[in-house]
A and B are shown apart, each in its own frame.
Chain A
Amino acid sequence: MLEMIHTFLQSMGFMGLSGGQAIMIGIAFLLFYLGIKKGFEPLLLIPIAFGMFLANLPFAGMMDPGGGSGEAGGLLWYFYLGNRLGIWPPIVFAGIGAMIDFGPLIAEPKSLLLGAAAQFGIFATFFGAILLGFNGQEAGAIGIIGGASGPISIWLANKLAPHLLGAIAIAAYSYMALVPIIQPPIMKALTTKKERRIRMEQLRPVSRTEKILFPLMVTLVVALIVPPAATLIGMLMLGNLLKESLVVERLKATVSNALMNMVMLFLGLAVGACATAEHFLTLQTIMIIILGLLAFAVGTAAGVLLAKLMNKISGGKVNPLIGSAGVSAIPMSARVSQKLGHEANPSNFLLMHAMGPNVAGAIGAAVVAGVMLALFG
Chain B
Amino acid sequence: MFDKFISPELLGRMPLVEKISASLFLTVLGMVITFIILAVVCWFTILLSRACRKKPKKEDFATLIPIPGPLKEGGREDESLIAAVISAAIAAGRETTGRHLRVTKIKRTIDHIPQWERVGRIEQLLERGER
A binding-site residues for B, Cβ under 8 Å: 101, 103-107, 109-110, 112-113, 115-116, 119-120, 122-124, 126-127, 130-131, 133, 135-137, 139, 202-203, 205-207, 209-210, 213-214, 217-218, 221-222, 225-226, 338, 342, 349-352, 355, 360, 363-364, 367-368, 371-372, 375-376
Contacts and interface: CB of A to CB of B under 8 A. Distances in A.
A217 B124 contact: no
B42 interface: yes
B120 A349 contact: yes
A111 B124 CA distance: 24
A338 B119 CA distance: 11
A202 B111 CA distance: 13
B2 A126 contact: no
Nearest to A207: B52
A322 to B, nearest CB: 12
Contact of A351 (B19, B42, B117): B117
Given A135-B11, A352-B117, A368 B34 contact: yes
Interface of B: 2, 5-8, 11-12, 19-20, 23-24, 26-28, 30-31, 33-35, 37-46, 48-49, 52-53, 112-117, 119-121, 123-124
B37 A367 contact: yes
Nearest to B6: A136
B122 to A, nearest CB: 10
Given A101-B115, A221-B44, A123 B6 contact: no
Contacts of B7: 135
A112 B39 contact: yes
Majority SS at the chain A contact face: helix
Contacts of A113: 35, 38-39, 42
Given A113-B42, A130-B23, A135-B6, A209 B52 contact: yes
B33 A217 contact: no
Contact of A371 (B33, B44, B113): B33
A77 to B, nearest CB: 27
A103 B38 CA distance: 17
A208 to B, nearest CB: 9
B116 A367 contact: no
